[in-house]
Amino acid sequence: MSTLFTDRVVLITGGTGSFGKKFTEILLKEHRPRAIRVYSRDELKQHEMSQKVADARMRYLLGDIRDKDRLKRALNGVDIVVHAAALKQVPACEYNPFEAVQTNILGTKNVIDACIDCGVQQAILIGTDKAVNPVNLYGATKLCAEKLFVQGNSYSGGKGTIFSASRYGNVVGSRGSVIPVFLAQRERGFVTITDPRMTRFWLTLDQGVRFVMRCLEIMRGGEIFVPKIPSMRITDLAEVIAPGCEQRFTGIRPGEKVHEVLVSEDEARHTLENNEFFMIVPQFPWWDGPKWNHGNPVSHEFSYCSDTNPQWLDREQLRAILEGNMKLDLGQESPESSTVAPA
């Protein structure tokens, strides 16, 4: 068992979200933190979480990451920060762009400033594959957040807070997942898919949390950590959730990609690889940074994309993940579904 969290105070921004709740669950069950502070805006979600997590080490703090003064008060005495708060819905960010910038970019700047001012030891950002070669505002704001966290180390001077980021793909059953949509549509005998070629990286919430914990153990400042995770085809997912249902292809939506990227070819020039993950080291480590020895350099032509990923989930594996993590009873696989091209 890691001793990183032993007798430490941990604060999670956006702590009532799916990631924050799972992170808290594992931290309480498998580690010995002195206290866990959940920092978020929604008092109802905090109340509901407090009813399910009855532990004297829990603290629930109302606040917005847009409010730097409140953040500084909340971070007083905190050792480790996990920054998971963000506006994440792609259509909502497109329709409310100023709000996305206020929270995802300026709010992240507030987190960095407050961590440095309050003497937090280390902080990690929860990133997304949408930040790589972004095609929507959400991805662009998360790219900015990554840049801010990496270069936050230059503001802390290498002797204060150390900042790193994690970056991974779609999480099984998280907010905004397509799974509830397919579950609802199968009652009508069809599911809608934007593009039959579409692929995505996939991991479970438990895997995502444990990966972030692992990153916290080994981070030295400035890294972006990317786990090695499998890809899946959206058509396979639809067939597992709604076997035998018609698959209607509606055309790709604005701000959507056919395939996702976790490490771009441009980032390959400063990326290391080992058996567990890729580590993108900072290009401009003008602070007194460490020497990274967690892997070997990848080729300059390398990219980590969901369609060329060597690791794939087949339908049986997808079914096992859904039944094991979301407690869905999907039954046995049926013959191939029928499909229809877009009108």
CB-CB contact of 122 with 161 (8 Å): yes
Catalytic site residue 130?
Answer: yes
Beta-carbon contacts of 90 under 8 Å, excluding residues fewer than 6 positions away, are 130, 136, 137, 138, 176, 255, 256
CB-CB contact of 163 with 189 (8 Å): no
Which residue has tokens 């990690």? Answer: 124
Distance CA 342, CA 337 (A): 16
CB-CB contact of 108 with 68 (8 Å): no
Retrieve residue 211's tokens.
């990966």
φ, ψ of residue 134 in degrees (nearest 5)? -65, 145
Which residue has tokens 């840049």? Answer: 147
What is the rounded (10 degree) CA torsion for 195, 133, 165, 273? 90
CB-CB contact of 68 with 110 (8 Å): yes
Per DSSP, the three-state class of 164 is: strand
Active-site annotation holder among 21, 22, 88, 130: 130
CB-CB contact of 18 with 84 (8 Å): no
DSSP one-letter code for 312: B
What residues are annotated to the active site?
A: 130
